[in-house]
Structure 1
Amino acid sequence: MRVLMMSMLVLALTGCAGNVVTDYNSSVVFGNFSSWSFAENAGSSAFVSLDGSRVQSALERELNRKALRKVPENEADLLVNWQIVEEDRLEQSGVGLGFGFGTGRFGWALAAPPPVREITEGKLVVELVDTGSDQVVWRAASRRYLNENQSPETRRELIDEVVSEMFSKYPPGIQ
């Protein structure tokens, strides 16, 4: 029983791991950055959406925790660019139908697969751009998705959780 409980705990923790993928420029000294601003095209829309304001709030909170201060764009060491990248996936719902007949080892059957529908989901991508070189120096992408069926509170909690996990890996090499 004890081994079973430990196995279940390990599986649960493994399932929680790896919801964010990060990449960075290993030649950059991240300790040199002390200020940031949102990039002019952050969010890639003329207006900040509801999810966009949730993302910006979460980003501001996490960057403040990293002792980086928000300044006007022309004074910033880092520009924060983010976007919610939409991806389509197919989802099967329900069960298929089928029938068959036969005797012994031989028979015939017909079956219909379960219904399939296309779902559009969004994953969050955050990039930090060095204003001195105009190069992306750090990037994080979520493996968890927002979808249109989630409540506003669920969306906010998911965004907060994902952004927090992203910045748990910043600066690189210090975990």
Structure 2
Amino acid sequence: MRVLMVAALAMMMVGCASNVVTDYNTATVFGNYSSWAYAPMEKGSGFASLDDARVRSAVERELNRKAMKKVAKGDADLLVSWQIVSEERLEQTGVGLGFGFGSGNFGWGMAAPAPVREVTEGKLVLELVDQDSAEVVWRAASRRYLNENQSPETRRKLIDEVVSEMFSKYPPGLN
């Protein structure tokens, strides 16, 4: 019975874990912002090129839900900047093998480690920049990753979910 209770508690804790992390300037009055525009994208951010339309669509949908108006860059209160930060990780692709022999407290053994490969993944980072001060006032980063093995539909769904969760924490203090 205890094992079931511990398992249920662990599943509830995992279910409550957030997939995004946000940070913001505590001195900012977010109620003063009513319009936005995209900040100019940096050249050479090749990893994000195919996901550009997916991210833009998700951001526009979420900011419309917040009753924020998209305007020309010069008239905007906030500039929206985003990037997909690539990260490397190792992924196990098989199982390790080993064998040994011996008796009692003495023996010999050999083992080969599991094969691994390097995988490049991308973490979505969104920033809202105050147009007047040119300072970041709100930032959200995903804990879920895009990778090269995902289908276009999977990538779109993941981006939609992550951006929606990011903006569920905007403006800060209203959650």
Q: So what's the TM-score if we normalise by structure 1?
A: 0.91
Q: Take 2:42 and 2:82, find their aligned partners in 1: how far apart are those partners?
A: 5
- Contact between 2:47 and 2:84, CA under 8 Å: does it hold in 1? no
Secondary structure of the residue aligned to 2:120 is strand
Aligned counterparts, 1:102-117, within 5 A: 102-117=102-117
**Residues paired across the two proteins, number:** 173
Determine if contact 1:125/1:141 at 8 Å carries over to the other structure. Answer: yes
Report runs of 4+ in structure 1 exceeding 4 Å deviation. none
| Equivalent in the alignment of 2:56 | 56
SS in 2 for 1:64: helix
Given that 2:36 and 2:77 are in contact with CA atoms closer than 8 Å, whether structure 1 keeps it comes out as: yes
Identity between Structure 1 and Structure 2 (%): 70
Deviation at 1:42, TM superposition (A): 6.2
Q: Tell me how far 1:105 sits from its aligned partner.
A: 1.1
Do the aligned partners of residues 85 and 160 (structure 1) sit closer, same or farther apart at CA in structure 2, a change above 3 Å counting? same
Corresponding residue of 1:14: 13
Equivalent residues of 1:36, 1:76 under 8 A apart: yes
Q: What is the TM-score when the length of structure 2 is the normalising length?
A: 0.91
1:30 is aligned to 2:30:
yes
CA apart distance, 1:48: 7.0
Structure 1 portions without partners, runs of 5+: none
How large is the RMSD of aligned CA atoms in angstroms? Answer: 2.1
Once the 2 structures are TM-superposed, how far is the Cα of residue 134 of structure 1 from its aligned partner?
Answer: 0.4
Secondary structure in structure 2 of the residue aligned to 1:160: helix
SS in 2 for 1:18: coil
CA contact (8 A) 1:43 1:52 kept: no
Aligned to 1:171: 171
Q: Give, in whole Å, the separation in 1 of the partners of 2:138 and 2:100.
A: 57
Aligned-residue offset at 1:49: 2.3
**1:122 lines up with 2:107 in the alignment:** no
In 1, distance between residues paired with 2:6 and 2:100? 44
User: In 2, are the aligned partners of 1:24 and 1:139 still within 8 Å (CA)?
Assistant: yes
- In structure 2, relative to structure 1, the CA distance for the partners of 1:6 and 1:46 (3 Å cut) is closer
| Structure 2: stretches of 5+ with no match in the other structure | none
Name the amino acid aligned to 2:118.
E
SS at match of 2:101: strand
